[in-house]
């Protein structure tokens, strides 16, 4: 059987129901995925044997982002990590720590003059956080949509299956942070992982 015919049959049988499910008009998080995001879902799940056909879907290589589970999200960390895995994220570096005030200042350097910064610093240093370097196709925009809006109340209205809708309390205690750009992801990773540490860290992967 020609290779292109095998690929066509595989895509119809395996991905047809998946795409249909994503496009069902309901109030779930997945109902808001665009056609381009569906394309990313297909690319991220394309089996190794069909890797040579990724050009058909204009598949991009995986990119990096950083997710930080905040103190109020830590009781739900295992559920959050499971959801990340289910949505195609691989965790290359994974670290649980008590953040220092210096690390928080470097992380939120642009908020140091804000009236709410002292409370923000107390919140983020009150107990452990979990910092993860994640990889996925279109990692940054996908993760930011997946975690939902900053305000959990808004998230529950618009994206009730998002992480902040499920586990967030208010604008500050909203369970999780996600980098908003490649530059931010690189900077935030370097704040919490020393170069030498990252080189020898016993990494936890979800492939």
Q: Which positions are annotated as active-site residues? A: 177
CB 62 within 8 A of CB 90: yes
Spatial separation of the C-alpha atoms in residues 145 and 159, rounded to whole Å: 9
For the chain, where are the E strands, in sequence order? 63-69, 90-97, 129-136, 176-178
CB 163 within 8 A of CB 148: yes
Spatial separation of the C-alpha atoms in residues 5 and 28, rounded to whole Å: 34
CB 93 within 8 A of CB 199: no
Spatial separation of the C-alpha atoms in residues 80 and 200, rounded to whole Å: 25
């Amino acid at each position: 059987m020609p290779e292109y015919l095998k690929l066509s049959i595989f895509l119809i049988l395996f991905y047809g129901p998946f795409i249909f499910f994503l496009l069902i008009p309901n109030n779930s998080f997945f109902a808001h995925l665009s056609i381009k995001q569906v394309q990313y879902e297909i690319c991220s799940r394309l089996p190794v044997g069909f890797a040579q056909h990724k050009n058909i879907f204009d598949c991009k290589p995986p990119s990096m982002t950083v997710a930080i589970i905040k103190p109020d999200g830590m009781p739900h960390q295992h559920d959050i990590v499971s959801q990340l895995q289910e949505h195609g994220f691989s965790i290359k570096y994974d670290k649980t720590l008590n953040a220092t005030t210096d690390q928080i200042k470097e992380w939120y350097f642009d908020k140091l003059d804000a009236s709410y910064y002292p409370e923000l610093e107390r919140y983020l240093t009150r107990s452990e956080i979990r910092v993860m370097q994640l990889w996925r196709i279109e990692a940054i925009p996908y993760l930011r949509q997946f975690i939902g809006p900053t305000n959990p109340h808004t998230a529950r209205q618009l994206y009730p299956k998002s992480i902040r809708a499920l586990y967030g309390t208010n604008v500050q205690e909203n369970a999780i942070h996600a980098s908003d750009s490649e530059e931010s992801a690189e900077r935030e990773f370097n704040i919490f992982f020393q170069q030498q540490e990252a080189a020898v860290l016993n990494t936890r992967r979800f492939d």
